[in-house]
């Protein structure tokens, strides 16, 4: 009788995988920090670069730490992750939309008649 489950046979979690993910995450954190601290870019270029590197870091962490990829056995996890990202996107965009319109409506001052 085997002492390990069938999930362990397919596990991709190794020390090498975690180490690679950790090193890539550190690099993807240090690069934007260094760009901002040295003032090497304009503000708009820095924001764009940080956003791109943040997306890359999310993908690195999903692949190396959560072990979610495009294989058939991970399709359910990938679908759940995509649905979660969709719901979070709706919440963020909706919140920004509400705050923008509340700010626009609250900044209009109605003159008081005496």
Residue pLDDT, tens place only, 16-62 = 989 999 999 999 999 999 999 999 889 899 999 999 999 999 999 98
Do 16 and 48 fall into the same domain?
yes
Task: Note the pLDDT tens digit of each residue in 65-107.
Answer: 888 887 888 788 888 888 999 999 999 999 999 999 888 888 7
Query: Domain of 49?
Result: 12-67
Same-domain check for residues 62 and 44:
yes
Tokens read off for 59: 């993908």
Q: Report the distance separating Cα 2 and Cα 58, nearest Å.
A: 36
The answer on 84 and 38 residing in a single domain is no
* The predicted structure's pLDDT at residue 74: 79
Same domain (yes/no): 79, 91: yes
Task: Judge whether 35 lies within some domain.
Answer: yes
Residues 57 and 83 in one domain: no
In a domain, 114, yes or no: no
* Calpha distance 36→43 (Å, rounded): 9
19 and 46, same domain (yes or no): yes
18, 61: one domain: yes
Say how many domains are in the chain: 2
pTM of the full predicted structure?
Answer: 0.65
């Amino acid at each position: 009788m085997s002492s390990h489950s069938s999930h362990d046979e397919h596990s991709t979690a190794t020390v090498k995988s975690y180490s690679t993910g950790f090193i890539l995450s550190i690099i993807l954190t240090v690069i934007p920090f260094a760009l901002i601290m040295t003032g090497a870019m304009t503000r708009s270029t820095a924001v764009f670069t940080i956003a791109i590197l943040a997306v890359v870091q999310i993908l690195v962490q999903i692949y190396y730490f959560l072990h979610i990829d495009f294989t058939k056995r991970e399709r359910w996890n990938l679908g759940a992750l995509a649905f979660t990202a969709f719901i979070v996107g709706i919440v963020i965009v909706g919140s920004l939309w509400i705050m923008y319109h509340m700010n626009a409506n609250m900044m209009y001052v109605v003159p008081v008649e005496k």
